[in-house]
């Protein structure tokens, strides 16, 4: 199982593309203020695998800007790093000088339960207290005092190997075996303690290079080949 997972991950990493997050701050600001698009949530959260603060997975940027723009008051890019010390419980935040983009690193010891939803709430409350996160007032709630923190939506991106992908047979086998193990292991929502959160999954092709197909012949209406 470990060998299959290692080989599949090695193939995935060759397709991994990082983009400089600062380059997309102007577009995100325009999207935040663009009322032509419905507000998907006050806060949209993506979980990332990369630990580099200044870069972000291309698929996440594509998800926000291209797959019907996901407008929010703030976007959160959260990375969970498991530490060798068993009880580490800390975080860091990079705001890039904005009040709408937050790059959060959670440093958790290997004995700490990865309840990302609960930990992120603490981070958000800290930022709201310091004024780094503007108040997000809402009018409707079952609570008498709903507070100044709005709604959250977690978007989880899953990579899939499309049948049309132009890959070597050995690479296809490695990825297929890894994804079989991944399905048996459960969903990331359960791993990160998001079972009771608002979570949506998006599926993107692992490889963007596809096999060439023959051009179809266009027929006239009611004409048969």
Asked whether residue 25 is domain-assigned, the answer is: yes
Asked whether residue 213 is domain-assigned, the answer is: no
Asked whether residue 214 is domain-assigned, the answer is: no
Asked whether residue 189 is domain-assigned, the answer is: yes
Burial of residue 21 (CB within 10 Å: 0-12, 13-18, 19+) is: buried
Burial of residue 156 (CB within 10 Å: 0-12, 13-18, 19+) is: middle
Asked whether residue 56 is domain-assigned, the answer is: yes
Boundaries of domain holding 11: 2-205
List the structure tokens of 49: 């695998």
List per-residue pLDDT tens for the chain, 225 residues long. 888 878 877 877 777 788 999 999 999 999 999 999 999 999 999 999 888 899 999 889 989 998 889 999 999 999 999 899 999 999 999 999 999 999 999 999 989 888 888 899 899 999 999 999 998 877 777 777 767 788 899 998 887 776 666 667 777 788 788 878 877 776 776 667 676 778 888 887 765 555 666 788 888 898 888
Asked whether residue 211 is domain-assigned, the answer is: no
Asked whether residue 212 is domain-assigned, the answer is: no
pTM: 0.81
**Structural domains of the chain, count:** 1
The whole-angstrom distance between residue 14's C-alpha and the CA centroid of its chain comes to 19
42 touches 72 (CB < 8 A): yes
């Amino acid at each position: 199982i470990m060998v299959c997972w290692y080989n599949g991950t090695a193939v995935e990493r060759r397709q991994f593309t990082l983009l400089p997050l600062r380059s997309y701050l102007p577009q995100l600001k325009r999207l935040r203020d663009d009322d032509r698009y419905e507000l998907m949530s006050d806060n949209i959260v993506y979980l990332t695998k990369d630990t580099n603060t200044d870069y972000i997975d291309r698929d996440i940027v594509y998800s926000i800007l291209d797959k019907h723009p996901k407008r929010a008051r703030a976007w959160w890019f959260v990375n969970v790093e498991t530490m060798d010390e068993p009880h580490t419980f800390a975080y860091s935040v990079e705001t890039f000088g904005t009040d709408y983009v937050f790059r959060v690193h959670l440093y958790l010891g290997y004995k700490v339960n990865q309840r990302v939803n609960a930990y992120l709430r603490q981070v958000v409350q800290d930022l709201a207290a310091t004024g780094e996160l503007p108040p997000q007032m809402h009018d409707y709630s079952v609570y008498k005092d709903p507070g100044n923190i709005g709604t959250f939506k977690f978007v989880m991106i899953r990579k899939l190997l499309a049948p049309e992908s132009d890959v070597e047979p050995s690479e296809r086998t490695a990825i297929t075996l890894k994804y079989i193990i991944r399905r048996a292991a459960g969903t990331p929502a359960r791993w990160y303690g998001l079972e009771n959160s608002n979570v949506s999954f998006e599926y993107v092709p692992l490889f963007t290079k596809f096999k060439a197909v023959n051009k179809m012949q266009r027929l006239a209406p009611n004409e048969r080949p």
